[in-house]
A and B are shown apart, each in its own frame.
Chain A
Amino acid sequence: KNEVEQSPQNLTAQEGEFITINCSYSVGISALHWLQQHPGGGIVSLFMLSSGKKKHGRLIATINIQEKHSSLHITASHPRDSAVYICAVCSGNTPLVFGKGTRLSVIA
């Protein structure tokens, strides 16, 4: 079974700071997901990647398959970025395995 570790567990940042959240996994995968969950809210998919890098607005996700590691970066962070960010992995058609999430608070 794949073990997914995220760091940090909690993160507080000042508005405008550059933020990095890390995810590592133990077994080779076919895809890695970064998800966002706002308080009391549902889960929204931010990125799905199997190699390289993807960018969407102020969010950037990278993955290193050899090192079994991915990072989610937020540039010019804003209070509305406050949420729980979750990393999840899958192999083929196996169910997603989730990390415990990183709780981000961005203070104005």
Chain B
Amino acid sequence: NAGVTQTPKFRILKIGQSMTLQCTQDMNHNYMYWYRQDPGMGLKLIYYSVGAGITDKGEVPNGYNVSRSTTEDFPLRLELAAPSQTSVYFCASKGQGSTEAFFGQGTRLTVV
């Protein structure tokens, strides 16, 4: 049981490049979340999903896209990377009816 797995752990992107941050969980959780963490700030919600085929915007969705074609996977897509997207990204998941959340190890992204 691996929990929540994020890849890559680190990435440097040039302005305008695109990339996908991968997140997968093996706990059959319905709920999955993407957060970003900036220095001195709390984690902010980018997008979330309450089940396969359903996604919704969080607090800071601009510049990102997500999809949820399966229960296990919830990739986060950056289409045109900007320096403002330099951050640490965390994926999390939660089971239906549970309040316990599980976090991935994070992806440190730098856009230069």
Contacts and interface: CB of A to CB of B under 8 A. Distances in A.
Contact of B33 (A44, A86, A96): A96
Contact of A98 (B40, B42, B96): B42
B105 interface: yes
B90 interface: yes
Q: Is the interface of A mostly helix, strand, loop or mixed?
A: strand
Contacts of A95: 31, 33, 45, 48, 58
Interface residues of A, number: 23
A30 B96 CA distance: 14
B42 A93 contact: no
Interface of A: 4, 30-31, 33, 35, 41-45, 48, 50, 86, 88, 90, 93, 95-101
